[in-house]
Amino acid sequence: MVEDREAVVLEEAMAKDEKLQESTTTYKKKGKKGKKGSKTKNDNKGSDGGIREYKLVNYEDLPDYMKENEFIQKYYRSEWPISHAFLSLFSWHNETLNVWTHLLGFLLFLGLTVMQLSDMPQVADLLGHLHGSFSPKAAGNVSLNQGSLFSLASPPNNHDHLQPDITSAHHRPANTATAPRWPFLVFLFGSMVCLITSSLCHLLCCHSRRLNLLLNRLDYAGIAVMIAASFFPPISYAFLCTPRWRFFYLSSISFLAVLTVLSLLAPKFTHGSYRAFRALLFSAMGLTGLVPAVHITVVNWSESRKMETMACEAAMATFYLVGTAFYVSRVPEKWRPGRFDMAGHSHQIFHVFVVAGALAHYVAAQLFLEWRDEVSCGGRT
């Protein structure tokens, strides 16, 4: 009997020991899960308690919505916080030059805009009163040229050797009201919108799918705005004396711009497989400018500055089309995948050609403005 009792006590002790081991094992597992959970909540912190370092990844590690060009194989930012993405403006990755080419273009056109505004008598007069930077004599001279922003006096230019054909138009005497400046400002503003939206898109599109989609749509809208805005200076100045044609051409291109943007709102059109389709839409929109260009050339065939202006516009078209060809073909990275990941790939080349085309059009628009400053509507039909 004693032996039986000892056996029962031994079994009970062994059972208690097994339960104790099980409870200990369960506690350890829960503790590990808790540690893992705390690590997830603080995933922005590194192992040393500092800020987590977000590293560049390869193409195959990207989420599907970021897989735009398989020939660029490395140095991608993926799912980065906004703050990290913004600060990557000052670090090297495969979007660095895409960001900076159009950011510098934006700053360039911002400077050109300030220069144009400073030439306007109203702006110069306002700055003179605000900062006291004008002498009484200079302020008096500026105030003599006041007028509406939409019919501003222009300072005398030094292009007397480029006189228009006097048989087809009348010249304005010096210091009289000249052509409106707002069409030129529309072009400058449209260019800046395109360049800054493009720069922001390339800088921040690595944050999330939702932001990526939004920024791509803004990028497409910026391109459409720039193309439409480019029509305003030549058409406004060439058809200043024929309002019906001016209204027809400007309203038509504005309608096409809206239609183009609306057609690209579907998320699927942001994918790389629709690259050629997007390029075709924007190219077709720009090439509609051939119609008013031919019209302007025929009507103003006798103007002495015709060839110079046409050369600038031809340079603009060439820059845009060549850049688009690089964008669609994905050359040179298509020939040597991985070789041009950081610098020299097609989208960077495309950006450079876009800025060059915009500058060529700026020169052409300046020629149109100078001509219209010198030539009145007298004698026009």
The answer to whether the CB of 229 falls within 8 A of the CB of 210 is no
Q: How many CB atoms lie within 10 A of CB 304?
A: 12
The pair phi, psi for residue 76, each rounded to 5°, is -95, 150
* 87-93, long-range: CB < 8 A, 24+ apart: 88/203, 88/206, 89/203, 92/342, 93/56, 93/342
Q: Is 207 annotated among the ligand-binding residues?
A: no
How far apart CA 150 and CA 157 sit, in angstroms, is: 19
**What's the distance, CA 358 to chain centroid?**
12
Question: Please, which residues have CB within 8 angstroms of residue 160's CB and are 6 or more apart in sequence?
Answer: none
* Nearest one of 129, 64, 21 to 267, comparing CA atoms: 64
How far apart CA 364 and CA 9 sit, in angstroms, is: 104
Q: Is 347 annotated among the ligand-binding residues?
A: yes
The answer to whether the CB of 77 falls within 8 A of the CB of 88 is yes
Supply 118's token pair: 């400073």
- Name the maximum alpha-carbon separation found in the chain: 138
Q: How far is CA 346 from CA 282, 295, 322, in A?
A: 17, 35, 11
**What's the distance, CA 245 to chain centroid?**
30
The answer to whether the CB of 275 falls within 8 A of the CB of 337 is no
Q: Which amino acid is at 316?
A: M
* DSSP code of residue 274: G
Q: Is 361 annotated among the ligand-binding residues?
A: no
Question: Residue 2: exposed, middle, or buried by beta-carbon count in 10 A (0-12, 13-18, 19+)?
Answer: exposed
Question: Please, which residues have CB within 8 angstroms of residue 289's CB and are 6 or more apart in sequence?
Answer: 230, 231, 253
Supply 39's token pair: 């690590």
| Known binding residues for Zn(2+) | 202, 347, 351
| Known binding residues | 202, 347, 351
